[in-house]
């Protein structure tokens, strides 16, 4: 897991590394700048490109000066630096780097408060104006400069953080932020990079290691964690000889209506592919032929209109409810019936979430450790409207603790909130997966993992990762525009095999 820290914690981690490694703060800046330059050169190897580095007078600006010096050493000749003097203050490391810069033949121009902005002819702008030290929205000269640079529509590469973007906390829709094509960030993505509000302000980010003390970073016990491949490899268990279908559990999915039977087919199919020993789906009779032809491995319990189905509750290791279920009185009666009779962790998705939203008292009846898998709109229906993702994140943390459930908030970086108050960001998936039915697949996968005796938390983290990884494996190598949910399900065994090899 990569702990995701707040700006304050990053500052403390700097100080800890400086005193314990030990390394001087200017050498830590040198190390960070070197890491930036080596990544920058991979993306922009053409040394004849025109580059302007805009530097503030804090440590982000100090990085900018060190970066420009290093690029010059590497033979980038069409380089110039613009230092903005909008503040009377400058950090020591900025001053040291300005001093180191002065004997170079690289043009350096200072932009004063209230001054005019010089013409900008470079193709690439390195944004080293402000970084993680941002403590208020941009205004005055900074805001004017950033607006000016934004309208030039250059290729902006931000150092650590795009100027004006807070690393955590609410991002105002009105905020002026320097739009980056690429952010090369130090040590870890900043929490806001993983929330949709950063989308309009940055196309992509890459984190470079600057050697902050890892034991210290882990000891901060941050509630925000980024899931990495190694974490999932640790969770997934290989299959053993002499195991049989009974070893891998019996999953029941309660899903589907005549017009939304596809959801039931997709989630039960995903459950089979993700390895449940047995999968049964409870559907209306109208779906039986489709089920038998789509996925012969799945068994059925038929649900009559207006009648509760006969379910042998003890037979099932786990129940997943909701995809395509509908929100009518029958669906509600069925959900109530399940909550009254089944007391092990269950998975609640789609229509069942909307029923919970309109019958909030049922939320309290969810067995401890249950899993709900809302997308943003379902989440807000359940827990109230949110005007920023940061606020939504805080509700996610609070509700998972309060209800003692796992909440999987589906998004680009799907976030799982767990009963112990942690928020885990997933690192797989891509935009080709944005299509109807993809959530049904996730429900099937998570249900299958709980059936196989993974803890609910493990099932969420691994399920979300596998789902996204299957989509990545399918879409990324060929830059596919779209991948279909059924393809993602069928890819799961290969993805698990690769992770357990």
Ligand X SMILES: NC(=O)C1=CN([C@@H]2O[C@H](COP(=O)(O)OP(=O)(O)OC[C@H]3O[C@@H](n4cnc5c(N)ncnc54)[C@H](OP(=O)(O)O)[C@@H]3O)[C@@H](O)[C@H]2O)[C@H](O)CC1
How far apart CA 346 and CA 352 sit, in angstroms, is 12
Phi/psi class of residue 99: alpha, beta or left (left: φ > 0; alpha: ψ in -120 to 50)?
alpha
Pairing verdict, β 423-425 and 406-409: unpaired
* Nearer of residues 98 and 130 to ligand X, judged by Cβ: 130
How far apart CA 378 and CA 350 sit, in angstroms, is 8
Q: How far is the CB of 62 from ligand X (least distance, A)?
A: 6
Q: Would you count residue 136 as binding ligand X (CB under 6 A)?
A: yes
CA-closest candidate to residue 204, choices 176, 219, 183, 232: 183
Q: Would you count residue 186 as binding ligand X (CB under 6 A)?
A: yes
How far apart CA 87 and CA 90 sit, in angstroms, is 7
Neighbours of 199 (CB within 10 A): 10
Report whether 341 belongs to an annotated binding site. no
Place of tokens 């005007």: 387
DSSP symbols for 53-87: EEE-SSHHHHHHHHHHHHHHHTT--SEEEEEEE-S
Report whether 324 belongs to an annotated binding site. yes
Q: Would you count residue 134 as binding ligand X (CB under 6 A)?
A: yes
Q: Would you count residue 56 as binding ligand X (CB under 6 A)?
A: yes
Residue 156: strand, helix, or coil: strand
Q: Would you count residue 440 as binding ligand X (CB under 6 A)?
A: no
Q: Would you count residue 463 as binding ligand X (CB under 6 A)?
A: no
Q: Would you count residue 351 as binding ligand X (CB under 6 A)?
A: no
* Nearer of residues 31 and 399 to K ion, judged by Cβ: 31
Residue 348: strand, helix, or coil: strand
Query: Which residues here bind K ion, judged by CB under 5 A?
Result: 60, 127, 131, 158-159, 163
How far apart CA 353 and CA 379 sit, in angstroms, is 8
Report whether 280 belongs to an annotated binding site. no
Give all strands (DSSP E) within 180-307, no chain letters: 180-186, 202-208, 224-226, 250-254, 278-284, 299-303
Q: Would you count residue 54 as binding ligand X (CB under 6 A)?
A: no
Q: Would you count residue 36 as binding ligand X (CB under 6 A)?
A: no
CB 212 within 8 A of CB 192: no
Which listed residue (133, 211, 367, 493) binds ligand X by CB under 6 A? 133
Report whether 72 belongs to an annotated binding site. no
Q: From ligand X, K ion, none, which one binds at residue 134 (CB under 5 to 8 Å depending on kind)? A: ligand X
Q: Would you count residue 198 as binding ligand X (CB under 6 A)?
A: no
Report whether 163 belongs to an annotated binding site. yes
How far apart CA 412 and CA 415 sit, in angstroms, is 9
Which listed residue (2, 4, 5, 28) binds ligand X by CB under 6 A? 28
Q: Would you count residue 189 as binding ligand X (CB under 6 A)?
A: no
Write the interaction track for ligand X spanning residues 71-90; mark x where CB under 6 A is met and - where it is not. Answer: ----------------x-x-
Report whether 136 belongs to an annotated binding site. yes
Main-chain dihedrals φ then ψ at residue 273, nearest 5 degrees = -65, -30
Q: From ligand X, K ion, none, which one binds at residue 32 (CB under 5 to 8 Å depending on kind)? A: ligand X
Q: From ligand X, K ion, none, which one binds at residue 127 (CB under 5 to 8 Å depending on kind)? A: K ion
Q: Would you count residue 187 as binding ligand X (CB under 6 A)?
A: yes
Report whether 97 belongs to an annotated binding site. no
Q: From K ion, ligand X, none, which one binds at residue 354 (CB under 5 to 8 Å depending on kind)? A: none
Q: Could you tell me how many residues of this chain bind ligand X (CB under 6 A)?
A: 30
How far apart CA 66 and CA 25 sit, in angstroms, is 13
DSSP letter assigned to residue 305:
T
How far apart CA 168 and CA 222 sit, in angstroms, is 13
* Nearer of residues 63 and 349 to ligand X, judged by Cβ: 63
Q: Would you count residue 126 as binding ligand X (CB under 6 A)?
A: no
Choices 70-78, 157-165, 253-261, 292-300; region in contact with ligand X by CB under 6 A: 157-165
DSSP symbols for 262-282: HHHHHHHHHHHHTT-SEEEEE
CB 188 within 8 A of CB 4: yes
Q: From K ion, ligand X, none, which one binds at residue 499 (CB under 5 to 8 Å depending on kind)? A: none
Q: Would you count residue 14 as binding ligand X (CB under 6 A)?
A: yes
* In the complex, residue closest to K ion by CB: 127
DSSP letter assigned to residue 410:
B
Q: From ligand X, K ion, none, which one binds at residue 158 (CB under 5 to 8 Å depending on kind)? A: K ion
Contacts of 189 (CB under 8 A, 6+ apart): 4, 205, 207, 226
Binding residues: 59-63, 127, 131-137, 142, 160, 163, 263, 324, 375, 410-414, 439-440
Residues annotated as binding site for AMP?
Answer: 410-414, 439
* Binding positions for ligand X, rule: CB under 6 A: 10, 14, 28-29, 32, 56, 58-63, 87, 89, 91, 130-136, 138, 142, 159-161, 186-187, 212
């Amino acid at each position: 897991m990569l702990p995701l820290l707040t700006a304050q914690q990053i500052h403390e981690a700097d100080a800890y590394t400086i005193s314990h490694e030990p390394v001087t703060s200017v050498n830590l800046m040198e190390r960070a700048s070197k890491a930036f330059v080596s990544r920058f050169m991979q993306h922009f190897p053409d040394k004849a490109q025109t580059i302007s580095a805009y530097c503030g007078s804090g440590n982000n600006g100090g990085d900018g000066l060190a970066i420009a010096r290093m690029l010059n050493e590497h033979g980038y000749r069409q380089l110039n630096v613009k230092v903005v003097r909008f503040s009377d203050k400058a950090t020591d490391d900025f001053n040291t780097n300005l001093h180191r810069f002065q004997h170079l033949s690289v043009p350096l121009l200072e932009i004063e408060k209230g001054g005019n902005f010089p013409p900008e002819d470079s193709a690439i702008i390195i944004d080293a104006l402000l970084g993680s030290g941002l403590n208020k929205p941009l205004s005055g000269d900074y805001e004017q400069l950033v607006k000016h640079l934004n309208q030039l529509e250059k290729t902006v590469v931000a150092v650590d953080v795009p100027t004006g973007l807070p690393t955590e906390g609410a991002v105002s829709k009105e905020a002026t932020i320097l739009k980056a094509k690429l952010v090369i960030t130090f040590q870890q993505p900043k929490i806001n990079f993983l929330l949709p509000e950063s989308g309009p302000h940055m196309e992509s980010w890459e984190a470079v290691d600057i050697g902050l003390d890892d034991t210290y970073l882990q000891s901060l016990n941050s509630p925000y964690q980024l899931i990495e491949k190694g974490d999932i490899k640790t969770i997934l268990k290989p299959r053993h000889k002499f195991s049989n279908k009974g070893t891998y559990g019996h999953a029941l999915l309660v899903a589907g209506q005549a017009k939304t039977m596809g959801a039931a087919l997709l989630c039960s199919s995903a459950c089979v592919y993700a390895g449940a020993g047995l999968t049964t789906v409870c559907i209306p009779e109208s779906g039986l032929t489709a089920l038998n032809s789509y996925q012969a491995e799945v068994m059925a319990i038929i649900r009559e209109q207006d009648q509760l189905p006969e379910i042998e509750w003890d037979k099932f290791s786990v129940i997943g409810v909701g995809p395509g279920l509908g929100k009518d009185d029958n669906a509600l009666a069925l959900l109530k019936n399940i909550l009254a009779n089944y007391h092990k962790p269950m998975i609640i998705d789609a229509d069942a979430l909307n029923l919970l939203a309109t019958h909030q008292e049922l939320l309290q009846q969810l067995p401890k450790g249950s899993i709900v898998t809302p997308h943003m709109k379902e989440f807000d229906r359940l827990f109230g409207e949110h005007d920023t993702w940061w606020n939504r994140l805080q509700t996610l943390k609070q509700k998972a603790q309060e209800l003692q459930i796992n909440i999987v908030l589906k998004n680009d970086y799907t976030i799982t909130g767990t009963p112990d108050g942690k928020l885990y960001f997933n690192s797989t998936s891509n935009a080709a997966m944005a299509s109807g039915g993809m959530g049904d697949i996730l429900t099937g996968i998570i249900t299958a993992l709980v059936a196989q005796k993974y803890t609910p938390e493990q099932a969420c983290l691994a399920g979300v990762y596998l789902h996204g990884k299957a989509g990545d494996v399918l879409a990324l190598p060929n830059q596919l525009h779209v991948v279909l949910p059924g393809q993602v399900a069928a890819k799961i065994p290969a993805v698990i095999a690769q992770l357990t090899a």
